[in-house]
Structure 1
Amino acid sequence: MKVSYECGPCFLRQAREALDLSTDDEDLKMEIMGDIFKYLADNFSKGTNSNKTGSTMHKMIKQKTGCDDPYFKEKIEGNEIALKYLPDVKKILKEDDSLENYVKIAIIGNILDFGAFTLDDDIESVIKGSLKKDLAVKDIGEFENSLKKYDKVLYLVDNTGEIVFDKLLLAKIKEYGLDITIAVKSQPILNDACMKEALDAGLDEFGEIVEIGAGTVGYVDSEISDEFRQIFNNHRFIISKGMGNYEGLTEIDLSEKDIYFLLCAKCNTISRDIGVNLHDMLLFKK
């Protein structure tokens, strides 16, 4: 996806957050922020790829601070908090175990920033409230048809914390008899799930976990490994979680794929691109 004017302040917000997590050296933060201003001044324009721009910015921060994984603590805490709420979510699903509710739970995981929650927060109320909301775009019939049609699926995960809720949908998919391949980032980027976080959350219970060969914001086709490209090309049926993967995958030809996006539209640029309202929950086929 291409940037909009609103992506500019979002890049700077992310840069500040990553810098604060990477170093306490105020002079170094000032220097790096200046470098980011220069980079954006030279590269931020109409037609710029949003994922590649964000990935380059985070790479600059990691290289200059020497901190390879700024969100390390947030990722651990996100998974731990989500795992504590997993039994409660399972109880909720026992009341209505429809495929749609499992999809909603996976999308609710995309809504919740588990790294920002504590055990004192009423996450259960947020979950129950979101389950009562209708999906703004609901290609659930086509989705179930694909579950019945194919014998394998590639599942592109997004953030830590969120991946714990993905486990429930992965278990539901298993009921359809599909072989599942679960794709994670190869290097740390933001609070995205890498191999360690996926294993800690127990995703290997449901299928083989593979790395995409890159540590990019979302999916950046030019950065993935040859090994992952072969895996991607060998799958007709793909499930993509989160906005970052949507931004990247819509840059490439998907005409031969049955690909479904599960996300919450958390920014105006994404909402406008898809044609939905801000904060809408979506399951749609591209």
Structure 2
Amino acid sequence: IIWAIIPFLILIAVAWPATKSILNLKDTASPDITIKATGYQWKWGYDYLKGEGEGISFLSNLSTPQDQITGNAPKSEHYLLEVDNPMVVPVGKKVRMLLTSNDVIHAWMVPAFGVKQDAIPGFVRDTWFRAEKVGIYRGQCAELCGKDHGFMPIVVEVLSAENYTAWVGEQKKKIAAAAEDPNKKWNPADLKARGEKVYAANCVACHQANGQGVKGTFPALDGSRLVNGPRGRHIEIVLNGKQGTTMAGFGKQLSDTDLAAVITYERNSWSNKTGDVIQPSEINSARK
């Protein structure tokens, strides 16, 4: 009987601490900060839901220059692992991450934190981490998610408590400064100039800088019947996407002004000469 009892006791001695560790790894309760990360093709959106920084939201896009990607310039140290807006957290604080997706399955992975969690459309998954050292940590989308899967990095900047508080203050000021009058009437030149920047950041990967798209995969906008047709249908597609295609809706990603600007740009660029000027108020009405 001793040969049965001794292995049983060894098993209990190993299993008990292991079980506690596994439960602790999955315990997302009592976080200091809660952040929702939403996967988009092909970028991440971050919403600070609870804790210091609550109310801050932004998109995080790949910032590697196009000439490096095309091989026309030397590759930088952090090639394809750099973004315009990193996620920022304070050192030593428990950060709960809520993961979801706007289109297809993505996965938020930062190896240094031991975190990898799928972001699934229609579901919210959660995980957590606590960064012990100030610094910059990099990761990538770890779920094959389409054409630009390899161009969807994750960067987390960990700051001291004092610097994090200062960052939160700066972000709040930017949000207040960026608040726009939804009834403002934009002139065509300013709207188109802004739309060109929005297009470069959100649309060029599929529809290309020249508006020609990718034959058989992403439709051309240059000369498109949709773009040159009724403006209401064009607004609807950009706002809500088109079911059964790779066209995702941008209503949750972009402001009324940015949407108005990019649609105005598309309808008045390349060979498209509709002369239409879409105002933010028109987008606001279409959302309702």
TM-score for both structures, normalised by structure 2: 0.27
Q: Relative contact order, CA 8 A, sep 6+: which one is greater?
A: 1
The structure whose residues are more often helix, as a share, is: 1
The structure whose residues are more often strand, as a share, is: 2
